[in-house]
Amino acid sequence: MNKFVTANPSKCIGCRTCEIACALAHSEGAGVEGLAPGSFKPRIRMVKTADVSTAVMCHHCEDAPCVNACPNNAIVYRQHSVQVEQERCLGCKNCVLACPFGVMDVVTVPAVRQFAGMTLSLGVKAQAHKCDLCIERGDAGPACVSVCPTSALTLMDREAMDETLRRRRERAALEAAEVAA
């Protein structure tokens, strides 16, 4: 099963700590001082409506619409997650339209190439932009999960999922017993 991060709306307080942590985890070590409104592109977004506050991000679907929609096979299954091979991304936005959760975006970043010790600018490069489960952080795991002050975020893997399901079934059984009584 693919792993994914889930948010519990009854715990989220809409503080956006997760957004900053996510942006920082993908800042190539630039640190907080590299953050600025124009370039702030977290892969997790806090959403606040009249009745709900919660964070939304990629579900790392098992049969992912974005993977299926990509004409250039730029989105792949790797290490129990859905990952984008950025070199192959064309920026066609098929994946953006395919994603039912609105958590895939296409962004442009400055493209550069190293040549004879010099950095050459090659204009811009498109990137399909979404949660990569902080794959680069290795054992440190998802940055958003580690900072959320109310523990509203959890990393779901098979084990965590089984545990949740077990609890749900138990509750269902209890409720059924109550109805019967």
Site residues, ligand SF4 (CB under 6 A) = 5, 7, 12-18, 21-22, 25, 43-44, 46, 55, 57, 131-134, 142-144, 148, 150, 152-153
Which of ligand SF4, another protein, none sits in contact with 143, Cβ below 5 to 8 A by type?
ligand SF4
CA geometry: angle 71, 19, 57, nearest 5 deg: 40
- Is the separation of the CB atoms in 27 and 39 below 8 Å? no
Q: Which stretch binds another protein (CB under 8 A): 9-17, 56-64, 84-92, 171-179?
A: 9-17
Taking the C-alpha atoms of residue 106 and residue 43, their distance in angstroms, rounded to an integer, is: 11
Choice between 95 and 152, CB closer to another protein: 152
Q: Is 51 in the site for another protein (CB under 8 A)?
A: yes
Choice between 83 and 94, CB closer to ligand SF4: 83
**Considering the complex, what minimum distance in angstroms separates the CB of residue 137 from another protein?**
14
Choice between 111 and 160, CB closer to another protein: 160
> DSSP H helical segments within 34-135, as ranges?
65-69, 94-98
Q: Note the residue count of the chain.
A: 181
Residue 37 DSSP symbol = G
Nearest to 66 by CA among 53, 57, 75, 54: 75
Nearest to 56 by CA among 46, 41, 42, 64: 46
Residues contributing to the site for another protein (CB under 8 A): 10-11, 13-17, 19-21, 24, 31-37, 40, 48-53, 147, 149-151
